């Protein structure tokens, strides 16, 4: 399973960097709330959906309104889902109770349960949705999404049983709606991870990438980059992402993907130039500041700038998907250790452990001082 040591930004299409790098870069890698996909390969998973652990007061009011008045309408439920509002689940449940034969209502419930982490129940809702709406691509898309998450919760026998259903769901979604790029990206992940006996294969993944490019040139490049990284060809993957970034120079997500790839390939100067250009354009970007700090921690270069960037990051507002403060303290500790400032480094590693006593990386770094 992908390490979550540095919860923050994350690739949605291109699973290009290493597992820790992906965890550090979660939000930028996610494109339009991609589905979660896991396949029947032990220890591997893709694209985790996240939701806030808190339910704001206004969401509680919304839940009360749904339960105490008439059922929410489908557009109302869909609006809540788009906002990732915690009230979406209760609203979807009420809609299904009011309209049990409405396939789109069951699609909404499937999606709401996925967002809520109720994956087994989401599979049940998805199966009901596809039975009621067999021509609805979204029904199969969200069933596949539910199955992908559910696979991560079961043992090997369960994975082998569910994987063909996952593949079939996404393939049916694409057949019903060839322009559904999210489903094609999910299939790429399946084909790259699954053994050939279960329908996997790089050739099939390339076919999907080519199809994606016909609908969206930039997403085609990122899909090709994902395949290149699977084939251990980072230089080719960087080339694809450079083409994507050139086509959309202001796309923060693509910018971050490319920077992380540069770092993984130890192309420090290119990573530094890209980050500095980003900071020049968006000096208040917390993601750019974090990446400068991360680059310094990984490369041992630009230590003063990296230290300043991480201290600035810790003062900046952050979203739920940005790297957590514990990660910034850990990276800051690495920088200080490389600069020979061991006492200060120890303080930063201890600050990280105070926030997360189980943080393995910080424990190891502290012990190594």
Q: List the one residue out of 206, 211, 210 whose CA is nearest residue 192.
A: 206
On the question of pLDDT at 110 being above 60, the answer is yes
Let me know if residue 304 belongs to a domain. no
Q: List the one residue out of 307, 364, 366 whose CA is nearest residue 331.
A: 307
The predicted pLDDT at position 319 comes to 86
Query: Is the distance from CB of 131 to CB of 157 less than 8 angstroms?
Result: no
Let me know if residue 94 belongs to a domain. yes
Mean pLDDT on 73-94: 95
Let me know if residue 74 belongs to a domain. yes
Instruction: Give tens-digit pLDDT for 23-48.
Output: 444 433 333 334 444 443 333 333 32
Mean pLDDT on 349-369: 97
Let me know if residue 244 belongs to a domain. no
The predicted pLDDT at position 71 comes to 78
Instruction: Give tens-digit pLDDT for 332-348.
Output: 999 999 999 999 999 99
Query: Is the distance from CB of 247 to CB of 221 less than 8 angstroms?
Result: yes
Instruction: Give tens-digit pLDDT for 178-215.
Output: 999 999 999 999 999 999 999 999 999 999 999 999 99
**Which of helix, strand or coil describes residue 46?**
strand
Token pair belonging to 269: 């100067």
CATH of residue 107: 1.25.40.10
Total domains in the fold of the chain? 1
Residue % of the chain over a pLDDT of 90: 78
Let me know if residue 59 belongs to a domain. yes
Query: Is the distance from CB of 242 to CB of 258 less than 8 angstroms?
Result: yes
**Residue 52 domain boundaries:** 40-170
b/e string for 130-159 if b means 16 or more Cβ within 10 A? Answer: bebbeebbbbbbbbbbbbbbbbbebeeeeb
Reported pTM: 0.74
Q: Which residue would you say has higher pLDDT here, 114 or 321? A: 114
How far is Cα 255 from Cα 244, in angstroms, rounded to an integer? 9
| Cα Rg of the chain (Å, integer) | 22
CA 248 to mean position of chain CA atoms:
20
Instruction: Give tens-digit pLDDT for 116-166.
Output: 999 999 999 999 999 999 999 999 999 999 999 999 999 999 999 999 999
Query: Is the distance from CB of 16 to CB of 30 less than 8 angstroms?
Result: no
Let me know if residue 118 belongs to a domain. yes
Of 13-22, 40-49, 60-69, 311-320, the range with the lowest mean pLDDT is: 40-49
The predicted pLDDT at position 51 comes to 37
On the question of pLDDT at 269 being above 60, the answer is yes
Angle at 286 between CA 321 and CA 363, to 5 degrees: 65
Mean pLDDT of the chain, nearest integer: 85
The predicted pLDDT at position 320 comes to 80
Let me know if residue 188 belongs to a domain. no
Let me know if residue 73 belongs to a domain. yes
Mean pLDDT on 243-257: 94
Residue % of the chain over a pLDDT of 70: 81
b/e string for 187-197 if b means 16 or more Cβ within 10 A? Answer: bbbbbbbbeee
């Amino acid at each position: 399973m992908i390490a979550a040591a540095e919860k923050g930004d994350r690739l949605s299409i291109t699973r290009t960097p290493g597992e820790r790098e992906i965890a550090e870069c979660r939000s930028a890698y996610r494109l339009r709330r991609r589905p979660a996909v896991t396949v029947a390969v032990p220890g591997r998973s893709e694209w985790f959906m996240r939701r806030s652990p808190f339910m704001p007061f206004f969401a509680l009011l919304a839940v009360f309104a749904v339960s105490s008045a008439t059922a929410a309408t489908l557009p109302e439920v869909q609006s809540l889902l788009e906002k990732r509002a915690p009230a979406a689940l209760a609203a979807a449940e009420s809609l299904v109770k009011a309209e049990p034969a409405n396939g789109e209502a069951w699609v909404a419930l499937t999606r709401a349960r996925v967002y809520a982490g109720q994956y087994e129940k989401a599979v049940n809702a998805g199966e009901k949705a596809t039975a009621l709406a067999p021509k609805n691509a979204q029904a199969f898309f969200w069933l596949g999404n539910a199955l992908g998450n559910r696979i991560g919760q079961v043992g090997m026998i369960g994975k082998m049983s569910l994987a063909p259903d996952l593949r079939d769901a996404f393939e049916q979604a694409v057949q019903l709606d060839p322009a559904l790029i999210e489903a094609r990206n999910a299939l790429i992940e399946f084909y790259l991870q699954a053994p050939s006996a279960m329908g996997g294969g790089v050739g099939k993944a390339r076919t999907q990438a080519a199809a994606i490019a016909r609908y969206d040139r930039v997403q085609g490049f990122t899909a090709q980059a994902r395949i290149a990284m699977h084939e251990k060809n980072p230089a080719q993957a960087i080339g694809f992402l450079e083409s994507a970034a050139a086509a959309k120079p202001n796309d923060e997500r693509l910018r971050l993907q490319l920077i992380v790839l540069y770092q993984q390939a130890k192309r420090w100067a290119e990573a530094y130039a890209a980050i500095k250009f980003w900071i020049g354009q968006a000096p208040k970007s917390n993601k750019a500041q974090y990446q400068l700090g991360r680059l310094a921690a990984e490369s041992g270069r630009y230590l003063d700038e990296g230290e300043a960037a991480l201290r600035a990051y810790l003062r900046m507002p952050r979203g739920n998907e940005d790297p957590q403060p514990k990660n910034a303290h850990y990276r800051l500790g690495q920088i200080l250790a490389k600069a020979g400032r061991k006492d200060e480094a120890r303080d930063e590693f201890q600050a990280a452990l105070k926030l997360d006593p189980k943080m393995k990386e910080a424990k190891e770094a502290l012990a190594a001082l």
